[in-house]
Amino acid sequence: MKEAVAVIENGGVLEILIDRPEKKNALTAPMYRVMTAALAEAASRADIGAVLFSGRGETFCAGNDLADFMTGPDGAEAALDFIRAIARFEKPIVAAVQGMAVGVGTTMLFHCDLVYAAPDAAFVMPFVNLGIVPEAGASLLAPAVLGHAKAAAMLLLGEPMDAPGAERAGLVTALVPADRLLDHARAKAALLITKPPEALLATRRLMKGDPASISARIEEEARIFRQALQSPEAREAFAAFFEKRPPDFRRG
């Protein structure tokens, strides 16, 4: 089975391409591990000045592959390792988003500095619908970025946010036609690495604020997430998903 994540060096930018279009770029434990290792490599190399995330095909990322996720704790731990890695990564991160960005496909964007989206992009965080809680610090970062009301619609109701709404709310830097999206994101990543590196990294640290508060929220979310996965609500939500039926939370 192919890796489903391609890591490409492009003139001082490390590109991480989610490459599983036949499954809408849903993430498995091995895919998370490749991305985590790529971030570690980028962090350790002086010749890499920025990272660019993109997805092949019509979907940026459909979130966790739920079948893989439910096979055991490996998927959840691999996802958490990636979340920790992207949250503590100190160099600029750029993202090019087309189509759906579901779950971690959206929450990872709160840790990116420049997010460019095609007009068809849509952002969904359906954690509550699955009987679980947000991850990647989204319970802290979504209200901070979007405002409480918009974050509540996404996190409590699971409502999607379209690309123009995401731009207005501050999740997306700019909308770019789909046929120019990746080239535009690459150009911005290339521009970042021409800047004075110490000033750039110091400014990014100042903008991000206290990393300890984000790390603490990630760990708190992870603790509650693990508990929620074992709950009757989550079991019913996941069963309904796989059985392609509406969930009934009055069961049991």
Give the SS3 label for residue 136: coil
User: Strand pairing partners for 7?
Assistant: 16
What percent of the chain stands above pLDDT 90? 82
Please give the CATH architecture assigned to the domain spanning 5-180: Alpha-Beta Complex (3.90)
- Cα–Cα distance for residue pair 42/107, rounded to 1 Å: 21
pLDDT at site 87: 97
Total number of residues shown for the chain:
252
**Residue 227 phi, psi dihedral angles, 5° rounding:** -65, -45
pLDDT at site 76: 84
Asked if residue 252 has pLDDT above 80, the reply is no
pLDDT at site 17: 98
**pLDDT tens digits, one per residue of 23-39:** 999 999 999 999 999 99
- Please give the order of strands across the beta sheet that includes 5-10: 5-10, 13-18, 50-55, 93-97, 114-117, 174-175
Instruction: Using alpha carbons, select from 207, 221, 206, 201 the residue that is nearest to residue 84.
Output: 221
Cβ neighbour number for residue 89 with a 10 Å cutoff: 17
**pLDDT tens digits, one per residue of 56-104:** 999 999 999 887 767 766 778 999 999 999 999 999 999 999 999 999 9
Average pLDDT, the chain: 94
* Higher pLDDT among residues 226 and 150, named by residue: 150
* Higher pLDDT among residues 168 and 76, named by residue: 168
pLDDT at site 236: 87
- Cα–Cα distance for residue pair 191/211, rounded to 1 Å: 26
**pLDDT tens digits, one per residue of 190-238:** 999 999 999 999 999 999 999 999 999 999 999 999 888 888 888 888 8
Model confidence at 1, in pLDDT bands (50, 70, 90)? very low
pLDDT at site 251: 58
SS3 annotation, 158-198 = CCCEEHHHHHHHCCCCEECCHHHHHHHHHHHHHHHCCCCHH
pLDDT at site 92: 98
pLDDT at site 232: 87
